[in-house]
Amino acid sequence: MMNHPEYAARLGRLRRLRAALEKYESAFYEAFEQDFGKGRFETYTTEIGYVLTAIRHTERRLRRWMRPRKVATPLVLFPARSRVYPEPYGRVLVIGPFNYPLNLTIAPLAAALAAGNTVTLKASRQTPAVSARIAEMLREIFPPDVVEVVSPDVSNDELLARRYDYIFFTGSPRVGRIVMEAAAKHLTPVTLELGGKSPAIVTVTAPLRLACERIARGKFLNAGQTCVAPDYVLVHASVRDAFIAEMRKVIQEYFGDISRRPADMTLIAQQRHWERIMELIDPAKVVIGGTGDATTRYIAPTVLDGVSWSDEVMQEEIFGPVLPVLTYSDLETEVIAKVRAGEKPLSLYIFSRNRREIRKVLREISFGGGCVNDTVMHLGNENLPFGGVGNSGIGAYHGRTGFETFSHFKSVLHKSSCSWLNFDLLKPPYKDSLLRLVRRVYR
Positions marked catalytic: 193, 227
pLDDT of res. 429:
81
Distance between CA atoms of residues 105 and 134, nearest Å: 9
Q: Which residue ranges in the chain fall short of pLDDT 50?
A: 1
Domains of the chain with bracketed CATH: 7-194+394-408 (3.40.605.10), 199-386 (3.40.309.10)
Rg, the chain, Cα only: 25
Contact 136, 40 (CB under 8 A): no
CA angle, 19 then 88 then 123, to 5°: 50
pLDDT of res. 441:
72
pLDDT of res. 3:
63
Contact 303, 280 (CB under 8 A): no
pLDDT of res. 1:
41
Kind and range of the H or E run holding 18 = helix 7-23
Contact 368, 385 (CB under 8 A): no
DSSP 122: E
pLDDT of res. 432:
81
Distance between CA atoms of residues 74 and 430, nearest Å: 22
**3-class state of residue 8 by DSSP:** helix
pLDDT of res. 26:
98
Distance between CA atoms of residues 159 and 391, nearest Å: 23
381-384: Cβ within 8 A, 24+ apart: 382/53, 382/54, 382/57
Q: How many residues does the chain have?
A: 443
Query: What are the Cα distances from residue 109, in Å, to 169, 172, 253, 359, 441?
Result: 11, 19, 38, 36, 47
pLDDT of res. 417:
79
Question: What are the pLDDT digits (tens) for 306-362?
Answer: 999 999 999 999 999 999 999 999 999 999 999 999 999 999 999 999 999 999 999
pLDDT of res. 62:
98
